[in-house]
Amino acid sequence: MKKLLQALAGAILCALFAGGIGVQAAPAVMSDGQIFDAAYYAAQNPDVTAALGTDADTLYRHYTEYGKKEGRAPYDPSLGAEELQQEILAAQKQAAAEADAKVRPADYDAAASLKTYLGRSVKSADIQAMIDTVHSLTPAPVSSYTTYDFGNGKTFTLGPELAMALMKTNADGTYALENGTYVPDEDKVKAFAVWIAGQDSGSKNRAVFHTTSGRDLKLSGGFTNHPVTDTDAEASYLMGVLTTAGARTHTPEKKGSTTYIEVDMAEQKAYYYEKGKLLWSSDIVTGNMARGMGTPEGVYKIRAKVRSTYLTGANYSSYVDYWMPFIENRIGLHDASWRRGFGGSIYKTSGSHGCVNLPPAKAKELFNLISLGTYVVTFY
């Protein structure tokens, strides 16, 4: 019997019974590996049920604390080893099916989910074979359903059948188990996260910065104002939920920023967007092109916000009320009260020493809107 228990312990998903098994119609493997048939124990021990009732957990506690010492049988001793194992497997599969039915989304279609992921060229017969194989597994796959919501009514549900394609396997092709539980394969999960990013229409081919004037630019570091799916974050999320029972709706995590200052030096315009909404704009004057002092292109961040200071150089000292540097402490946005005009082609021959000059009132507005660390995107 000891050998039988050891053989079964690695093959049965004890967790299905650990949280309250109810009176079973067949033996079950408890969380400590003991085989126990609550229905049989109740029928054979009316004195116990008269005092304690028929709750399976209560009966099992009685058996472990008293019944075992008193010689009470935990299951029908007339059952042979093979018959006992078959009954346990049947009970496990039934319990798994019942648990799955409680959480499975009403509109979930396993075949459609697999076909969407594997491609339309995969034969329906092969898809069904995969489903049948998954549902014949012992232990049963965890009833985990993750519905991706991409917006605009588009969704995709990752269920147990597809989840098993993302699990670790042994050298012989069988699924790997750790403590009776299947284990997600990080490489497979990362590949799936990339696929998910491709399903998100809002992420497709959007690794660009869309300017207010209507251009699409490739910026340093891949900076984008179109939030795109963060595949690393998605892979990390999946590693945690693939073996967690339940149904959940998930919106893919995004990366990129929708809060930034845009400095369009070709148009001589600057804009401030906060969470995708335009809150501020202004004509500007950037670095003097004729003198080789053009404002550098790139993606930077606001390094400081300083009131009432002097900007000094080799041959100048200028007082400003609002100083917002983004390249060291030498190039930034600031008010330029000495200028009579902004915008147009002034920058080509009469521009700044590299800074972004703003009308005083506009500089004050921007200073009060932005925070340290706000992105500054400059381009021609």
Residues 308 and 195 in one domain: no
Residues 282 and 343 in one domain: yes
Q: 142 — alpha (psi -120 to 50), left (phi > 0) or beta?
A: beta
Range 215-228 average pLDDT: 88
Q: What is the pLDDT of residues 117-167, one digit of tens each?
A: 999 899 999 999 999 999 888 888 999 999 999 887 899 999 999 999 999
Residues 22 and 130 in one domain: no
Residues 247 and 138 in one domain: yes
Residues 185 and 321 in one domain: no
Question: Predicted confidence band at 168 (pLDDT cuts at 50, 70, 90)?
Answer: very high
For residue 14, the tally of other CB atoms under 10 A from its CB is: 20
Q: What is the pLDDT of residues 258-303, one digit of tens each?
A: 999 999 999 999 999 999 999 999 999 999 999 999 999 999 999 9
Which residues have a Cβ under 8 Å from the Cβ of 133 and sit 6 or more positions away? none
User: Alpha carbon 335 to chain centroid distance?
Assistant: 43
Range 325-338 average pLDDT: 97
Say how far apart CA 362 and CA 364 lie, in whole Å.
5
Residues 234 and 338 in one domain: no
Residues 74 and 179 in one domain: no
- pLDDT at residue 146, rounded to an integer: 97
Domain limits at 80?
A: 2-95
pTM exceeds 0.75, yes or no: no
- pLDDT at residue 91, rounded to an integer: 73
CA-closest candidate to residue 329, choices 363, 352, 307, 306: 306
